[in-house]
Chain A
Amino acid sequence: MRRTLAAISVCALLGSLTACGGDEPEAGGPVTLRMTTWSANPAHVELFNSIAAEYSKTKPDVSVTFEALPLENYTTTVTTQIAGGNAPDIAWILEGAAPDFVASGALTPLDDSIENTADLAPAATALWKKDGKLMGYPFSTSPFGVFVNNDLLKQAGQTLPAGADWTWANAVAAASATAAKTGKQGLVIRDFDYKEWSNLATVFRGWGADAWTADGKTCGFDQQPMVDAMTFLHKAIFTDKALPAPGVAADFFAGESAMTIAQISRASLLKEAKFGWTLVPLPAGPSGEYSVIGQGGLGVMKKGKNAAAAAEFVKFFTSPDNSTKLAQFFPPPRQSQLNADTLAKANPLLKPEQLQDVVIDGIATGVVKPSHTGSAEISQAVRSALDPMWKPDADIPGVLRGVCTAIQPLLAK
């Protein structure tokens, strides 16, 4: 009764946002599985469709549709679909939302639906396990690196610091000088935009700082490493002008900035780049070299109408063969495929040493971006509390203490 009422009301309220209703599965009849994704990239969609078409050859009764949802509202939309009684059969899950999905029991365990689970890198699956069971498959384990516009640096008379000189201090100096000389922007932390603060992990991890402790109970924003990292970042933005100021838009891939911190899956945007570029690991911070990983997982929704058929398709979708194909966009979690040879075949845009330095070493040593149960509420609280930092005369330690005051009650929940 409740579900029906819920479905009716959510459909009524959100009729325009969600496609409510749909067909109940018929026992033994044809099944259409629906997988929600956040990628409408035609190359990605083409690959997914080809995998689905191949699957339909062996299972003619099963067809798969891929529903691309906008990334910024992705989790909200999926949750609304679930509330409306229209859960997708398979859903991509962002790393930030992973603890909520994994812990809530919304997903079906995948241990029997993934071939050769022993091959999966433990660092990649850590976030997706509950009581030893694999609840989500991290199909994309994508380290962050720094893409550099060689032409802009050259135009500004700068050379990219290399080896032991590739440090945050030198990276910011080069970005600042390039921005000043060319009138373009220096270094863009992609998708941060002074809102999505979790992408700042690509900076503050260099100081050994963490948003919260490993057990998720204690805030780390007021700790000295974070204060140091944020002081450095603040100076880079407002004094050195090495990063675009708040409210300033600049797209590296359109040639508007000298450098950008982004995941390697973005390399596909450089297929038709009109400038020379390179990809290097994140610069070393005061605490040494480090790497940060962004993940995307996929899970079979318990409330989907065809959970068993969905689990079978996931087995096919994530098989070693298909994993190799997916590797051209999404670095796989399979250790046997994390070698320069396999990755080079799938990523013709990247050189073997780039794949080794950024991808393979990155996945081996990287930490996943901050995540936590209740991450949406915590993220929102951090974003609000960090806002006073983004002006030239900010009291940085004071703002960071304010972040902890705001999120400590949420972390303790």
Chain B
Amino acid sequence: MTLLQDRAATARSAPGRPSYWTMRRRDHLTGYLFITPALVGAVAFVFLPLVLVVWYSLHEWNVLADTFDFVGSENYRKLAEDPNVPGVLRATALFSIGLVVLNLGLALVLAVLLNQKLRGTTFFRVLFFSPVVVSLLAWTIVWGFLLQDNGGVNGLLSLFGIDGPNWLRSGGTAMVSVVVVQVFKNVGLNMVLFLAALQGVPQELYEAARTDGAGRWTVFRRITLPLISPTILLTSIITVVGSLQVFAQISVLTQGGPGTSTTVLVYYLYQQAFQFHAFGYGSTLSVLLFLIVLALTVLQWQMRKRWVFHES
């Protein structure tokens, strides 16, 4: 029975008295039923863990000793006094800034280059996008081998008489290496998003600008950039949030070293919770991570009015 027939039947069954199941209510019910599976997933895997993590952060939870004691704000006081936290936040900021600037910059340059009507662009599009579909761990492990002191990268450099550094073991290059490995992994995704945006810019605007005598750079700055700014906003939010969640790359390539130079926040909270068995303090660190992600996303969302074309 179709929905309309169903409604008609319901209406006929109660002449004179309005049914509880009005069309509006039925529509609402149908809508809720449709989103129920996703909602159950979100509650079980997002909201409940989020609430529980805040709850755990108020406790000292030692899994081995099976103790779970309420300690109030003790973990937050520990967080404020933890001598490792400033270094961890610095490493996190360095990674995020490096990744966002390099990733978005390179993705935009590649998208502009591959948006030209030249032979071979399809090949290069596939080439730059292919790392996106490679397993993250496999990608990282292979780069781990390449970046060893006697690995492929230094082997290549030695062909040109260059004595390459020990990429993953020296403080100066470890962070750069991790960032670059991650940029190469994901730059293809942002490139494709930028390409789609570039192809959505109406050609007549370019023609009009050129007729008015605008040069290439002016056209790019005054026409292209404003019109793809919604995509820049989207990719920057995705990349910033993604950069704050980096884990596998650090775990495989550097384990947070040398020293603590690549110990980013997620890796530090993993160490605290799962290696040092301090689940309470680990939860406190995840609350901090949540607040940072929230603050940055709100900030970017607010700033969109200033620089995103369709929002002003």
Interface residues of A (CB under 8 A from B): 2, 5-6, 8-9, 12-13, 75-76, 79-80, 82-83, 100-101, 104-106, 194-195, 245-249, 302-303, 374, 376-377, 380, 383-385, 387-388, 390-391
Tally of A-B residue pairs with Cβ under 8 A?
89
B62 touches which of A9, A104, A245, A376 (Cβ 8 Å): A104
Is the C-beta of B259 less than 8 angstroms from some C-beta in chain A? yes
If over half of A's interface residues share one DSSP class (helix, strand or loop), that class is named, otherwise mixed; here it is helix
> Would you call B121 an interface residue if the criterion is a C-beta within 8 Å of the partner chain's C-beta atoms?
no
Tell me the smallest distance from the CB of A188 to a CB of chain B, in Å.
Answer: 14
Q: Is B309 an interface residue (CB 8 A)?
A: no
- Rounded to whole angstroms, the CA-CA distance of A385 and B256 in the bound complex is 12
Whole-angstrom distance between the Cβ of B197 and the nearest chain A Cβ: 34
Please give 8 more A-B residue pairs, beta carbons under 8 A apart, in addition to A376-B276, A390-B169.
Answer: A9-B49, A101-B64, A374-B276, A377-B276, A383-B257, A384-B260, A387-B169, A387-B259
B264-288, CB under 8 A of A: which get 1 and which 0?
0000000100111101000000000
Given known pairs A104-B64, A247-B150, A384-B260, the reply for A376 and B166 (CB within 8 Å) is no
Q: Tell whether A195 pairs with B257 under 8 Å between CB atoms, given A247-B149, A376-B277.
A: yes
When chains A and B are docked, how far (Å) is the Cα of A95 from the Cα of B275?
A: 15
Interface extent on B, as a size class?
Answer: 20 to 34
Q: Quick check: is B65 within 8 A (CB to CB) of the other chain?
A: yes
Interface pairs (28), CB distance under 8 Å: A5-B52, A6-B68, A9-B52, A12-B45, A13-B49, A79-B63, A79-B64, A80-B274, A83-B63, A83-B279, A100-B277, A101-B64, A105-B65, A105-B66, A106-B66, A195-B257, A246-B166, A247-B148, A247-B149, A247-B168, A248-B149, A249-B150, A303-B66, A376-B275, A376-B276, A380-B271, A384-B260, A387-B258
Assembly CA distance A82 to B67 (angstroms): 12
B48 interface residue (CB < 8 Å to A)? yes
Q: Mark B80-122, 1 if CB is under 8 A from A, else 0.
A: 0000000000000000000000000000000000000000000
What is the CA–CA distance of A377 and B274 in the complex, to the nearest angstrom?
Answer: 11
Contacts of B65 in A (CB 8 A): 104-106
B229 in contact (CB, < 8 A): no
B245 within 8 A of A: no
- Write out the residue numbers on chain B whose beta carbons fall within 8 Å of the beta carbon of A380: 256, 271, 275-276
Contacts of B277 in A (CB 8 A): 79, 100, 376
Q: Is the CB of A12 within 8 A of B48?
A: yes
A9 contacts B48, C-beta separation under 8 Å: yes
- B149 touches which one: A13, A83, A246 (CB < 8 A)? A246
1/0 contact string of B32-52 vs chain A (CB within 8 Å): 000000000000110011001
Asked if B148 and A249 make an inter-chain contact with CB atoms under 8 angstroms apart, the answer reads: yes
Given the complex, which residues of A lie within 8 Å of B166, measured CB to CB? 245-247
Residues on the B chain within 8 Å of A100, using CB: 64, 277
Contact of B170 with A by CB under 8 A? yes
- Provide the bound-state CA to CA distance between A374 and B65, in Å: 12
Alpha-carbon distance A346/B63, docked complex (angstroms): 38
* Residues of chain A with a CB closer than 8 A to B236's CB: none
Contacting residues, chain B, for A79 (C-beta < 8 A): 63-64, 274, 277
Chain A residues, Cβ within 8 Å of B148: 247-249
| Residues in chain B near residue A75, CB distance under 8 A | 275
State whether the Cβ of B297 lies closer than 8 Å to any Cβ in chain A: no
Q: Is B255 an interface residue (CB 8 A)?
A: yes
Residues of B within 8 A of A383 (CB): 255, 257
Contacts of B259 in A (CB 8 A): 384-385, 387-388
Say yes or no: B48 contacts A245, CB within 8 Å: no
Determine the chain B residues whose CB is within 8 A of the CB of A384 once the complex forms.
256-260
**Least Cβ distance of B193 to chain A in Å?**
27
- Interface bits B151-174 vs A (CB < 8 Å: 1, else 0): 100000000000000111110000
- Which chain A residues border B169 with CB–CB below 8 Å? 194, 246-247, 387, 390
The 6 closest A-B pairs by CB, nearest first: A247-B149, A104-B64, A387-B258, A104-B65, A377-B276, A9-B52
Give every chain A residue within 8 A of B279 (Cβ-Cβ): 83
Cα–Cα, bound, A385→B255 (Å): 14
Closest to B283 in A: A9
The interface residues of chain B lying within 8 Å CB-to-CB of A246 are 149, 166, 169
CB of B49, distance to nearest CB on chain A (Å): 5
- CB pair A2 B170 closer than 8 Å: no
Q: Which residue of B lies closest to A15 (CB)?
A: B45
Q: Which residues of A contact B66 (CB under 8 A)?
A: 104-106, 302-303
Q: Which of B49, B64, B255, B275 contacts A76 (CB 8 A)?
A: B275
Contacting residues, chain A, for B48 (C-beta < 8 A): 8-9, 12
Most buried by A among B49, B271, B274: B274
Q: Mark out the residues of chain B between 207 and 266 whose CB falls within 8 Å of any chain A CB in the assembled complex.
A: 255-260
Residues of chain A within 8 A of B49, CB atoms compared: 9, 12-13
Contact of A248 with B63 in the complex, beta carbons under 8 Å:
no
- Closest residue of B by beta carbon distance from A87: B63
A248 adjacent to B257 (CB under 8 Å): no
Q: Identify the closest chain B residue to A249 (Cβ).
A: B148
Bound form: Cα–Cα A383–B169 in Å: 12
B258 A2 Cβ-Cβ under 8 A: no
Q: How far is the CA of A5 from the CA of B61 in the complex (A)?
A: 13
Q: Given the complex, which residues of A lie within 8 Å of B53, measured CB to CB?
A: 9
Asked, given contacts A104-B62, A248-B149, whether A76 binds B274 with beta carbons under 8 Å apart, the answer is yes
Partner of A82, one of B63, B150, B256: B63
In the bound complex, residues from chain A placing their C-beta under 8 Å from that of B255 are 195, 383
Q: Which residue of A lies closest to B62 (CB)?
A: A104
